[in-house]
């Protein structure tokens, strides 16, 4: 009874004492850690969250200026190492096989990531290497020439629809917020390619402008398309939150627990929506006679693998059974989470810069004319895209100067050393792409938009591991080829159809950070091109 009475009478004092002891223990462990890498001093539970704020790229830029090319910070109580020097980056990204790399994991273990169904499923954050490797083989479909040819056709069709809207906008003298249009374009391409269900984000964006009551005649077949796109964006945002905060904190602190529930409810809704789409597609496949072809979208390829309707598009080694709905869902969800927030954002940043540099725009147009022989509805073949070397340089320079993914994590599977500092297994190591690709040590006048640096002799002189737009090694982005096809298709169609002019009076694009850098207010004016050679 004495103990119970003592606790009752001194409850708040005991709570304060426990917190005080925990804080003291935290700092004892911090200041006595074996490898004292430079970095900002964290606080318990929160780590360096208050120094980072809502803009991780800007925070890393400030940290790098203060602490150099190797430093640490804390996300909650988890230690994170940041590197931005080529020899250190090579240690993380160079190995090209599972057997030789020490950085096969994407991030250190996180209970929150498991709650999002990402720790053992899909690809991006999957720590189950056997499942990851299998899913990666299935994802190889998006780099197959047959798929890329279909992607060119689909992109071409959707871009033509967009340009019909833009010609109406042009007549009104209105500016175009390309950051919104690129986002809608990406959603329509990814959703339709992934599932065969036509999303009409671009049509809805035009309808919302309400220009003289004109409405798009394009109809979609995805009932909840716009809601699903927003849910995927929220899902991507939730990853940082779930990794950053300890589980007990997320589940019990007022307001925070509501946000936690919102993210998990959103995850469940996405799962239910994908279950519906998969069920509908299975039924469509079953009701299609064997002698009739199936539409070769990604979901169909997944659902027919190792069945009598197998389209024989994917080589999956010894895997000899059909995929379950849950397996197919985890892969198709990765197509959305990886495809919606990357390519479209990169394209918007690229448009920002070429709208500021008319000489670059005209060089792209000259190259398109030389490759296709005409600017009047050129025949876009997959084989011709490899000849667009200057366009590739423009894309590369846009990604270099303002990368959508400014830093990329990897986690060590065993203890490693950087510059004599010992880093324990399961520690996350961030490669700061933006810091290294904008470092004057490696790129002359890095603040200047100059595609020529990716051509000929200048390209050959670029220091290895200073430019990794799609990563490198064993976990290089499987969507690289698809992303390049989408961006090239848009740029070809754009220079053939319009002249553009920047409507922004600033020289660096604006963005908000939400797991990736999302462009805002990328405003341009368009004018229909009148002469083939102008």
pLDDT tens, position by position, 142-156: 788 888 998 999 999
- Residue 47's DSSP bridge partners are 43, 75
CB 80 within 8 A of CB 423: no
Helices (H), 176-304: 178-195, 201-209, 225-244, 247-252, 256-286, 298-304
Sort strands 428-432 and 78-83 into parallel, antiparallel or unpaired.
parallel
CB 108 within 8 A of CB 426: yes
Which of 132-136, 443-447, 495-499 shows the lowest mean pLDDT across its residues? 132-136
List the helix and strand counts (H, then E) for the chain. 21, 11
Residues 6+ apart with CB under 8 A from 176: 166, 169, 523, 524, 525, 526
CB burial of 279-299 (b: ≥16 within 10 Å; e: otherwise) equals eebbeebeeeeeeeebebbbb
For residue 385, what is the DSSP state?
Answer: G
| pLDDT of 235 strictly over 70 | yes
pTM over 0.75: yes
Measuring CA to CA, which residue among 115, 179, 103, 43 is closest to residue 418? 103
Label residue 447 by pLDDT band (50, 70, 90). very high
Q: How far apart are CA 75 and CA 52, in angstroms?
A: 9
Label residue 360 by pLDDT band (50, 70, 90). very high
Q: Per-residue pLDDT averaged across 458-462, rounded?
A: 80
Higher pLDDT, 46 or 494: 494
CB burial of 200-219 (b: ≥16 within 10 Å; e: otherwise) equals bbbbbbbbeeeeeeeebebe
Indicate the CATH number of 140-528 among 2.40.50.180, 3.20.20.70, 1.20.140.10, 1.10.630.10: 1.10.630.10
Label residue 138 by pLDDT band (50, 70, 90). confident
Helices (H), 340-377: 343-356, 358-372
Label residue 3 by pLDDT band (50, 70, 90). very low
Q: Per-residue pLDDT averaged across 287-298, rounded?
A: 85
Give 84's Cβ-side CA count (13 Å radius): 26
Annotated binding residue 477: yes
CB burial of 344-381 (b: ≥16 within 10 Å; e: otherwise) equals bbbbbbbbbbbbbbeebbebbbebbbebbeebeebebe
Tell me, what's the pLDDT at 14? Answer: 47
Kindly state the tokens that stand for 168: 């109406």
Q: What is the mean pLDDT of the chain?
A: 88
| pLDDT of 511 strictly over 90 | yes
Q: Per-residue pLDDT averaged across 49-63, rounded?
A: 91
Kindly state the tokens that stand for 166: 């833009």
| pLDDT of 9 strictly over 80 | no
CB atoms within 10 A of CB 172: 10
Measuring CA to CA, which residue among 276, 286, 291, 306 is closest to residue 195? 276
Enumerate the domain spans of the chain.
Answer: 140-528
Q: How far apart are CA 176 and CA 166, in angstroms?
A: 8
Instruction: Report the run of H or E that residue 422 belongs to, with start and end.
Output: strand 421-423
Q: Which residue has the tokens 């006679």?
A: 289
């Amino acid at each position: 009874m004495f103990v119970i009475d003592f606790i009752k009478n001194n409850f708040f004092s005991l709570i304060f004492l426990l917190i005080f002891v925990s804080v003291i223990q935290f700092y004892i462990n911090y200041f006595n850690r074996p490898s004292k890498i430079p970095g900002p001093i964290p606080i318990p539970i929160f780590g360096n969250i208050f120094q980072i704020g809502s803009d991780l790229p800007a925070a890393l830029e400030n940290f790098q200026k203060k602490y150099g090319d190797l430093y640490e910070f804390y996300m909650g109580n988890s230690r994170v190492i940041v590197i931005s020097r080529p020899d250190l980056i090579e240690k993380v990204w160079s190995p090209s096989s599972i057997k030789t790399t020490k950085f096969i994991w994407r991030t250190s273990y996180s209970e929150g990531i498991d709650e999002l169904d990402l720790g053992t499923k899909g690809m991006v954050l999957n720590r189950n290497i056997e499942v990851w490797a299998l899913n990666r083989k299935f994802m190889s479909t998006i780099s197959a020439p047959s798929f890329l040819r279909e992607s060119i056709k689909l992109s071409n069709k959707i871009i033509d629809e967009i340009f019909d809207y833009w010609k109406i906008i042009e007549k009104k003298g209105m500016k175009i917020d390309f950051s919104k249009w690129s986002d809608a374009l990406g959603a329509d391409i990814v959703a339709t390619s992934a599932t065969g269900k036509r999303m009409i984000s671009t049509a809805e964006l035009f309808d919302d402008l309400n220009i003289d009551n004109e409405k798009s005649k394009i109809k979609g077949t995805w009932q909840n398309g716009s809601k699903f796109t927003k849910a995927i964006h929220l899902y991507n945002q939730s990853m940082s939150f779930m990794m950053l905060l300890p589980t007990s904190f997320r589940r019990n602190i007022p307001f925070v627990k509501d946000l936690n529930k919102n993210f998990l409810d959103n995850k469940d809704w996405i799962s239910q929506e994908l279950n519906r789409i998969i069920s509908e597609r299975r039924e469509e496949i079953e009701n299609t006679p064997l002698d009739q072809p199936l539409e070769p979208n990604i979901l169909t390829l997944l659902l027919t693998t190792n069945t009598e309707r197998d389209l024989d598009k994917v080589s999956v080694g010894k895997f000899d059974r059909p995929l379950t709905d849950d397996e197919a869902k985890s892969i198709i969800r990765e197509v959305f989470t990886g495809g919606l927030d990357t390519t479209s954002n990169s394209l918007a940043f690229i448009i920002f810069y070429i709208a500021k540099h008319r000489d670059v725009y005209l060089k792209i147009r000259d190259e398109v004319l030389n490759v296709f022989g005409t600017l009047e509805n050129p025949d876009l073949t997959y084989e011709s895209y490899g000849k667009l070397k200057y366009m590739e340089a423009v894309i590369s320079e846009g990604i270099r100067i303002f990368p959508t993914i400014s830093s990329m994590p990897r986690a060590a599977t065993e203890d490693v050393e950087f510059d004599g500092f010992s880093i324990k297994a399961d520690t996350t190591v961030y490669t700061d792409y933006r810091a290294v690709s904008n470092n004057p040590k490696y790129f002359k006048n890095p603040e200047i938009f100059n595609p020529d640096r990716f051509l000929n002799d200048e390209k050959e002189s670029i220091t290895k591991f200073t430019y990794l737009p799609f990563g490198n090694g064993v976990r290089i982005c499987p969507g690289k080829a698809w992303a390049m096809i989408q961006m090239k298709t848009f740029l070809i169609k754009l220079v053939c159809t319009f002249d553009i002019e920047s409507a922004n009076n600033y020289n660096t694009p604006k963005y908000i950070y939400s797991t990736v850098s999302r462009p805002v207010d990328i405003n341009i004016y368009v004018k229909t091109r009148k002469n083939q050679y102008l």
